Amino acid sequence: MKIKKASFSISIDLELAWGVWDIINPTLLKNATNLEREIVNNLLNIFEDYLTPVTWATVAALLDSNNKMVNFGDKKAWYAPDIIENILNSKIKHLIASHSYSHINFKENNKNVICEDFEKAEYYFKIHNIKTDVLIFPRNQIEHLDLLNKFNYKFYRGLDKSWYKEISKYNKFLGKVANISDKILPIATNSIKPTMHQSGLVEIPTSMLLISRNGFKIPVTNNNMLFKVKKGIEAAIKKNECFHLWFHPSNFYFKSKKQFELLKDILKFVNSKREKGLIDIKLLNELSFVN
Protein backbone atom coordinates (compact mmCIF):
# COMPACT_ATOMS: atom_id res chain seq x y z
CA MET A 1 0.00 0.00 0.00
CA LYS A 2 1.18 3.45 -0.81
CA ILE A 3 1.95 5.52 2.26
CA LYS A 4 0.67 9.04 1.87
CA LYS A 5 2.68 11.84 3.35
CA ALA A 6 2.53 15.61 3.15
CA SER A 7 5.15 17.37 1.07
CA PHE A 8 6.87 20.71 0.78
CA SER A 9 8.23 22.05 -2.51
CA ILE A 10 9.99 25.16 -3.70
CA SER A 11 10.20 26.28 -7.32
CA ILE A 12 12.40 29.19 -8.38
CA ASP A 13 12.13 30.97 -11.73
CA LEU A 14 15.69 31.58 -12.90
CA GLU A 15 15.57 34.02 -15.77
CA LEU A 16 17.76 37.09 -15.11
CA ALA A 17 16.94 39.79 -17.70
CA TRP A 18 14.92 37.31 -19.81
CA GLY A 19 12.04 37.64 -17.35
CA VAL A 20 11.66 41.31 -18.29
CA TRP A 21 13.10 41.39 -21.84
CA ASP A 22 10.06 43.19 -23.23
CA ILE A 23 10.16 46.00 -20.65
CA ILE A 24 13.93 46.09 -20.18
CA ASN A 25 15.51 49.29 -18.83
CA PRO A 26 18.94 50.20 -17.38
CA THR A 27 17.88 49.51 -13.77
CA LEU A 28 16.52 46.05 -14.55
CA LEU A 29 19.68 45.27 -16.53
CA LYS A 30 21.91 46.50 -13.72
CA ASN A 31 20.06 44.43 -11.11
CA ALA A 32 20.21 41.25 -13.21
CA THR A 33 23.93 41.82 -13.85
CA ASN A 34 24.97 42.79 -10.32
CA LEU A 35 22.61 41.08 -7.88
CA GLU A 36 21.46 37.78 -9.31
CA ARG A 37 24.64 35.70 -8.90
CA GLU A 38 25.16 36.54 -5.25
CA ILE A 39 21.50 35.84 -4.47
CA VAL A 40 21.60 32.43 -6.17
CA ASN A 41 24.83 31.58 -4.31
CA ASN A 42 23.22 32.54 -1.01
CA LEU A 43 20.17 30.45 -1.86
CA LEU A 44 22.36 27.46 -2.75
CA ASN A 45 24.22 27.78 0.56
CA ILE A 46 20.96 27.96 2.50
CA PHE A 47 19.61 24.90 0.66
CA GLU A 48 22.82 23.03 1.55
CA ASP A 49 22.58 24.05 5.20
CA TYR A 50 18.94 22.96 5.43
CA LEU A 51 19.29 19.92 3.14
CA THR A 52 16.61 21.20 0.80
CA PRO A 53 16.41 20.20 -2.87
CA VAL A 54 14.41 22.64 -5.03
CA THR A 55 13.22 22.97 -8.63
CA TRP A 56 14.92 25.67 -10.71
CA ALA A 57 12.72 26.79 -13.62
CA THR A 58 15.48 27.86 -15.97
CA VAL A 59 15.31 29.97 -19.13
CA ALA A 60 17.38 27.94 -21.60
CA ALA A 61 18.68 31.03 -23.43
CA LEU A 62 20.89 31.57 -20.36
CA LEU A 63 23.00 28.83 -21.95
CA ASP A 64 23.16 30.45 -25.42
CA SER A 65 26.10 32.83 -25.86
CA ASN A 66 24.98 33.75 -29.39
CA ASN A 67 21.49 35.07 -28.74
CA LYS A 68 21.37 38.66 -30.03
CA MET A 69 20.13 39.97 -26.67
CA VAL A 70 23.63 39.43 -25.19
CA ASN A 71 24.66 42.63 -26.96
CA PHE A 72 22.05 44.58 -25.06
CA GLY A 73 23.84 45.91 -22.00
CA ASP A 74 26.06 43.53 -20.06
CA LYS A 75 26.21 39.99 -21.43
CA LYS A 76 26.02 38.68 -17.86
CA ALA A 77 22.37 39.75 -17.67
CA TRP A 78 21.40 37.32 -20.49
CA TYR A 79 24.03 34.60 -20.45
CA ALA A 80 24.67 32.71 -17.21
CA PRO A 81 26.04 29.17 -17.66
CA ASP A 82 28.09 29.82 -14.50
CA ILE A 83 24.92 30.03 -12.40
CA ILE A 84 23.50 26.81 -13.84
CA GLU A 85 26.85 25.11 -13.29
CA ASN A 86 26.76 26.14 -9.62
CA ILE A 87 23.28 24.68 -9.24
CA LEU A 88 24.37 21.41 -10.87
CA ASN A 89 27.53 21.25 -8.75
CA SER A 90 25.72 21.78 -5.46
CA LYS A 91 25.95 19.03 -2.85
CA ILE A 92 22.14 18.97 -2.94
CA LYS A 93 20.53 17.28 -5.94
CA HIS A 94 18.33 20.03 -7.34
CA LEU A 95 16.13 19.74 -10.42
CA ILE A 96 16.45 21.92 -13.51
CA ALA A 97 13.02 22.50 -15.05
CA SER A 98 12.39 24.35 -18.29
CA HIS A 99 11.09 27.91 -18.16
CA SER A 100 11.07 27.97 -22.02
CA TYR A 101 13.95 29.07 -24.24
CA SER A 102 13.41 32.83 -24.24
CA HIS A 103 10.46 33.64 -21.96
CA ILE A 104 8.19 34.53 -24.87
CA ASN A 105 4.54 35.42 -24.52
CA PHE A 106 2.59 32.15 -24.74
CA LYS A 107 -0.73 33.92 -25.20
CA GLU A 108 0.32 36.05 -28.15
CA ASN A 109 2.37 33.50 -30.11
CA ASN A 110 1.12 30.72 -32.33
CA LYS A 111 2.01 27.04 -32.13
CA ASN A 112 4.84 27.30 -34.66
CA VAL A 113 6.63 29.94 -32.62
CA ILE A 114 6.08 28.02 -29.39
CA CYS A 115 7.36 24.80 -31.01
CA GLU A 116 10.49 26.58 -32.18
CA ASP A 117 11.03 27.92 -28.67
CA PHE A 118 10.61 24.44 -27.14
CA GLU A 119 13.02 22.97 -29.72
CA LYS A 120 15.67 25.54 -28.85
CA ALA A 121 15.20 24.93 -25.11
CA GLU A 122 15.63 21.20 -25.69
CA TYR A 123 18.79 21.83 -27.75
CA TYR A 124 20.54 24.05 -25.19
CA PHE A 125 19.57 21.87 -22.23
CA LYS A 126 20.81 18.78 -24.06
CA ILE A 127 24.23 20.33 -24.71
CA HIS A 128 24.56 20.65 -20.94
CA ASN A 129 23.26 17.12 -20.28
CA ILE A 130 20.07 18.45 -18.78
CA LYS A 131 16.98 16.39 -19.32
CA THR A 132 13.79 17.61 -17.78
CA ASP A 133 10.15 16.60 -17.72
CA VAL A 134 8.91 19.72 -15.90
CA LEU A 135 7.77 22.92 -17.59
CA ILE A 136 7.08 26.17 -15.82
CA PHE A 137 5.28 28.49 -18.20
CA PRO A 138 6.79 31.96 -18.67
CA ARG A 139 4.58 34.60 -16.99
CA ASN A 140 2.50 31.65 -15.71
CA GLN A 141 0.59 31.75 -19.01
CA ILE A 142 -0.73 28.23 -19.23
CA GLU A 143 -1.27 27.86 -22.98
CA HIS A 144 -0.54 25.32 -25.75
CA LEU A 145 -0.83 22.40 -23.36
CA ASP A 146 -1.28 20.05 -26.32
CA LEU A 147 2.41 20.58 -27.25
CA LEU A 148 3.81 19.36 -23.95
CA ASN A 149 3.68 15.64 -24.71
CA LYS A 150 5.67 16.13 -27.90
CA PHE A 151 8.52 17.71 -25.93
CA ASN A 152 8.37 15.12 -23.13
CA TYR A 153 7.03 17.45 -20.46
CA LYS A 154 4.93 15.52 -17.97
CA PHE A 155 4.57 18.08 -15.17
CA TYR A 156 3.70 21.76 -15.30
CA ARG A 157 3.19 24.40 -12.67
CA GLY A 158 -0.37 25.61 -12.25
CA LEU A 159 -1.61 28.80 -10.68
CA ASP A 160 -2.10 29.95 -7.13
CA LYS A 161 -5.64 29.08 -6.10
CA SER A 162 -5.90 31.72 -3.35
CA TRP A 163 -8.85 34.06 -2.89
CA TYR A 164 -6.94 37.11 -4.19
CA LYS A 165 -6.18 35.38 -7.49
CA GLU A 166 -9.90 35.00 -8.06
CA ILE A 167 -10.22 38.77 -7.72
CA SER A 168 -7.47 39.40 -10.32
CA LYS A 169 -9.50 37.48 -12.89
CA TYR A 170 -12.04 40.30 -12.81
CA ASN A 171 -9.87 43.29 -12.03
CA LYS A 172 -6.08 43.30 -12.19
CA PHE A 173 -5.59 46.34 -9.95
CA LEU A 174 -7.95 45.08 -7.24
CA GLY A 175 -6.22 41.71 -7.53
CA LYS A 176 -2.89 43.38 -6.72
CA VAL A 177 -4.38 45.21 -3.75
CA ALA A 178 -5.89 41.93 -2.54
CA ASN A 179 -2.55 40.14 -2.98
CA ILE A 180 -0.74 42.67 -0.77
CA SER A 181 -3.60 42.64 1.79
CA ASP A 182 -3.29 38.88 1.93
CA LYS A 183 0.39 39.24 2.83
CA ILE A 184 -0.25 41.91 5.46
CA LEU A 185 -3.19 40.23 7.17
CA PRO A 186 -2.78 36.98 9.09
CA ILE A 187 -4.77 34.89 6.61
CA ALA A 188 -3.80 31.22 6.30
CA THR A 189 -2.40 30.01 2.97
CA ASN A 190 -3.65 27.01 1.01
CA SER A 191 -1.97 23.68 0.65
CA ILE A 192 -2.31 22.19 -2.81
CA LYS A 193 -2.54 18.83 -4.49
CA PRO A 194 -1.28 17.90 -7.93
CA THR A 195 -3.92 16.92 -10.48
CA MET A 196 -3.47 14.40 -13.24
CA HIS A 197 -5.39 15.47 -16.33
CA GLN A 198 -6.88 13.16 -18.94
CA SER A 199 -3.97 14.00 -21.23
CA GLY A 200 -1.65 12.38 -18.68
CA LEU A 201 -0.12 15.73 -17.73
CA VAL A 202 0.28 16.53 -14.06
CA GLU A 203 -0.56 20.06 -12.95
CA ILE A 204 1.01 21.35 -9.75
CA PRO A 205 -0.57 24.56 -8.46
CA THR A 206 1.30 26.92 -6.14
CA SER A 207 0.45 27.84 -2.55
CA MET A 208 2.22 31.18 -2.29
CA LEU A 209 4.68 33.56 -3.91
CA LEU A 210 7.44 34.81 -1.64
CA ILE A 211 6.80 38.40 -2.68
CA SER A 212 9.35 41.21 -3.01
CA ARG A 213 9.61 43.74 -0.22
CA ASN A 214 9.94 47.04 -2.08
CA GLY A 215 7.56 49.93 -2.69
CA PHE A 216 4.01 49.52 -1.45
CA LYS A 217 4.76 46.02 -0.19
CA ILE A 218 6.75 47.46 2.75
CA PRO A 219 3.97 46.76 5.32
CA VAL A 220 4.55 43.04 4.72
CA THR A 221 6.47 41.65 7.72
CA ASN A 222 8.53 38.49 8.21
CA ASN A 223 6.30 37.54 11.15
CA ASN A 224 3.20 37.68 9.05
CA MET A 225 4.73 35.85 6.11
CA LEU A 226 6.08 33.14 8.41
CA PHE A 227 2.67 32.81 10.09
CA LYS A 228 1.03 32.29 6.69
CA VAL A 229 3.57 29.72 5.57
CA LYS A 230 3.38 27.80 8.88
CA LYS A 231 -0.40 27.63 8.60
CA GLY A 232 -0.09 26.40 5.01
CA ILE A 233 2.42 23.71 6.01
CA GLU A 234 0.23 22.61 8.91
CA ALA A 235 -2.74 22.39 6.51
CA ALA A 236 -0.63 20.27 4.13
CA ILE A 237 0.26 17.89 6.98
CA LYS A 238 -3.35 17.64 8.12
CA LYS A 239 -4.68 16.95 4.63
CA ASN A 240 -1.73 14.95 3.24
CA GLU A 241 -1.24 17.64 0.62
CA CYS A 242 1.66 19.82 -0.50
CA PHE A 243 2.78 23.31 0.40
CA HIS A 244 4.36 24.81 -2.73
CA LEU A 245 6.29 28.06 -2.36
CA TRP A 246 7.65 29.84 -5.43
CA PHE A 247 9.71 32.93 -6.19
CA HIS A 248 12.37 34.49 -8.43
CA PRO A 249 15.86 35.47 -7.24
CA SER A 250 14.64 39.02 -8.00
CA ASN A 251 12.19 38.71 -5.09
CA PHE A 252 15.35 38.96 -2.95
CA TYR A 253 16.67 42.19 -4.53
CA PHE A 254 15.17 44.41 -1.81
CA LYS A 255 15.56 43.87 1.94
CA SER A 256 17.68 40.86 0.99
CA LYS A 257 18.81 40.14 4.53
CA LYS A 258 15.22 40.00 5.79
CA GLN A 259 14.14 37.79 2.89
CA PHE A 260 16.98 35.31 3.52
CA GLU A 261 16.09 35.27 7.22
CA LEU A 262 12.49 34.51 6.32
CA LEU A 263 13.53 31.67 4.00
CA LYS A 264 15.74 30.18 6.71
CA ASP A 265 12.91 30.39 9.27
CA ILE A 266 10.59 28.64 6.80
CA LEU A 267 13.11 25.84 6.20
CA LYS A 268 13.78 25.53 9.94
CA PHE A 269 10.05 24.99 10.46
CA VAL A 270 9.82 22.47 7.58
CA ASN A 271 12.79 20.55 8.98
CA SER A 272 11.23 20.41 12.46
CA LYS A 273 8.24 18.66 10.85
CA ARG A 274 10.44 16.53 8.61
CA GLU A 275 12.41 15.27 11.62
CA LYS A 276 9.14 14.06 13.12
CA GLY A 277 8.38 12.18 9.89
CA LEU A 278 5.40 14.42 9.10
CA ILE A 279 6.53 15.91 5.80
CA ASP A 280 8.93 15.25 2.90
CA ILE A 281 10.67 17.81 0.72
CA LYS A 282 10.04 17.02 -2.94
CA LEU A 283 11.07 18.19 -6.39
CA LEU A 284 8.16 18.98 -8.70
CA ASN A 285 8.53 15.71 -10.62
CA GLU A 286 8.50 13.68 -7.40
CA LEU A 287 5.12 14.81 -6.14
CA SER A 288 2.56 12.08 -5.88
CA PHE A 289 -0.79 12.76 -7.52
CA VAL A 290 -2.38 9.65 -6.08
CA ASN A 291 -5.05 10.48 -3.54
Interface positions with Zn ion (CB under 5 A): 13, 15, 19, 138
Closest CA to 83 of 54, 103, 58, 119: 58
CB of residue 106 to Zn ion, shortest distance in Å: 11
- In the complex, least distance from residue 51 CB atom to Zn ion, rounded to whole angstroms: 27
| Shorter beta-carbon distance to Zn ion: residue 18 or 235 | 18
Evaluate whether 225 touches 180 at the Cβ level (below 8 Å): no
Nearer to Zn ion, 6 or 96 (CB): 96
* Residue 235 Cβ vs Zn ion, minimum distance, rounded to whole Å: 27
In the bound state with Zn ion, the residue whose beta carbon lies nearer, of 100 and 162, is 100
In whole angstroms, the minimum distance from the beta carbon of 1 to Zn ion comes to 39
At closest approach, how far in Å is the CB of 65 from Zn ion? 21
CB atoms within 10 A of CB 65: 11
Nearest residue to Zn ion, scored by beta-carbon proximity: 13
Closest CA to 132 of 154, 101, 106: 154
Q: Measured from the CB of residue 5, what is the shortest distance to Zn ion in angstroms?
A: 30
Residues in contact with 209: Cβ distance below 8 Å, sequence separation at least 6, in sequence order: 160, 245, 246, 247, 251
Q: Which of 105, 223 has the CB closer to Zn ion?
A: 105
Nearer to Zn ion, 190 or 250 (CB): 250
d(CA 165, CA 190): 12
Give whichever of 189 and 250 is closer to Zn ion, judged by the CB atom: 250
| Rounded-to-integer distance, Cα 240 and Cα 6, Å | 4
CA 157 to chain centre: 9
CB closer to Zn ion out of 15 and 241: 15
Half-sphere exposure of 163 (CA within 13 A, CB side): 9
CB of 246 to Zn ion, least distance (A): 10
Neighbouring residues of 290: CB distance < 8 A, sequence distance ≥ 6: 2, 4
- In our burial notation (b when 16+ CB lie closer than 10 A, e otherwise), range 244-282 reads bbbbbbbbbbbbeeebbebbebbbebbbebbeeebbbbb
